[in-house]
Amino acid sequence: MTSMTTSKTPLYKQHVALGARITPFAGWDMPLYYSSIIEEHEAVRNKAGIFDISHMGTISLSGDDALALLEKVTCNDVSTMKLGQVRYNAILNDDGGLIDDITIYRKEEKNFTLIVNASNRERVLTRLQIFATDSVKIEDLSPSLVLLALQGPMAEKILARLIGNDIREIRYYYFKLIQYQNELITISRTGYTGEDGFEIYAPISSGTSIWENLLELGKTDGLIPSGLGARDILRLEALYPLYGHELSEEWTPVESGIGWIAKEKSIHYPGYQRIIDQKKNGSKHLVTGIIMDENGIPRESCKIFDASGEREIGRVLSGAYSPTLKKGIATAFLPIEFTKNGTLIQIELRSKKFRAHVHSGSFVQGSAKREKK
């Protein structure tokens, strides 16, 4: 029998007080929405929204062998990371399949922090332990932290109002350590929505205070609390993958459409040959975006057919209504011959087939301040 108990983040009472509809997610009671999913989506795209992401895992790795450990278990370069930099990466299993997608923060030469998915925290710790030597210290910092995501075109203005203009200097995928109420907090210019914004990591007391103060100070600029319902639509519009949907232990990063994070490295990570072959020659299947051509919302596990509607070629991984496109959008794991931009397909919704087409790249371009390298 599995345990039916769920956990609550330190901000649970605040969500209830704000009238949130609570939903279970990865063993946590999380706000699905406060006012409405579409209203919160609209706020993030046009003004700002703030998310409680304290359910995510925070793991610290330090010591002489910390870098070697990370180079061995992940597929992106770690040694080239500057201090103060953040990098998207993945922890792989023995076959090159994905155990979790993560972000790594390089605090010092030999001091890293990993942000991992709530659902995968235990599996990540187990995997790290397999490869850890005595010269690595692994610490799970999760229970002592509040994690927030402030996202939207107004995010910088609102955050500067609370913290000060220092935060304006933080570049995309970099972070700063900042003093707030006598505690050290981490602020990075990162996010999961495609909009400009920040993720904030703080001890519980200052983190709670930051949540409340931002909501107050951001009111005049349209900041509202935002839940997982809006978050899922935003990340799908940006074509960001989600573990358990576009990412799994069965598929390599290449097959999941994030092959750009798998690098040729002198330290060969597990599944190295399989992945490098796929990068050079292409994989047989690929996670692909889809836009509906008729009114209907694709939902997870709906069947997908070729243009004739006769041959089943896959199933929907993630599906949602895009308020930006005013159409249904989805992702699917399709045979490579169906993944060219514009390929016509059909999706079965409620026993009827609807027309759709393959779309390459993100569905929506947000305000995230990506710089050219």
Partner 1 sequence: MTNIPKELLYTENHEWLKLEGDVAWIGLTDYAQSSLGDMVFLDIKEIGTELKSGEALGTVESVKAAEDIYAPVSGKIVEIHSEIRDEPAKINQDPYSSWIVKLGNLNKKELDSLLDAGRYKEYLSSLEE
- Rounded least distance, CB 231 to partner 1, Å: 13
Residue whose structure tokens are 């792989």: 92
Q: Considering only residues 51, 105, 198, 321, which one is a binding residue for partner 1 as defined by CB under 8 A? A: 321
Residues 6+ apart with CB under 8 A from 332: 287, 288, 290, 304, 314, 315, 316, 317
Which is closer to partner 1, CB of 44 or CB of 75?
44
Q: Which stretch binds partner 1 (CB under 8 A): 29-37, 199-207, 234-242, 360-368?
A: 29-37
| Structure-token pair, residue 35 | 């006012």
Interface with partner 1 includes 243 (CB under 8 A)?
Answer: no
* DSSP bridge pairs for 48: 223
Interface with partner 1 includes 320 (CB under 8 A)?
Answer: yes
Question: How far is it, in rounded angstroms, from Cα 163 to Cα 154?
Answer: 14
- Rounded least distance, CB 21 to partner 1, Å: 9
- Name the 3-class secondary structure at 287: strand
Q: Whole-angstrom distance between the N-terminal and C-terminal Cα of the chain?
A: 51
Whether 337 contacts 343, CB under 8 Å = no
> Between the CA of residue 25 and those of 29, 53, 56, 243, 320, what are the distances in Å?
6, 11, 11, 13, 17
Interface with partner 1 includes 229 (CB under 8 A)?
Answer: yes
Which is closer to partner 1, CB of 6 or CB of 36?
36
Interface with partner 1 includes 38 (CB under 8 A)?
Answer: yes
Interface with partner 1 includes 313 (CB under 8 A)?
Answer: no
Interface with partner 1 includes 215 (CB under 8 A)?
Answer: no
Interface with partner 1 includes 350 (CB under 8 A)?
Answer: yes
- Name the 3-class secondary structure at 75: coil
Interface with partner 1 includes 233 (CB under 8 A)?
Answer: yes
The footprint of partner 1 (CB under 8 A) covers: 33, 36-39, 229, 233, 295-297, 320-321, 323, 326, 349-350
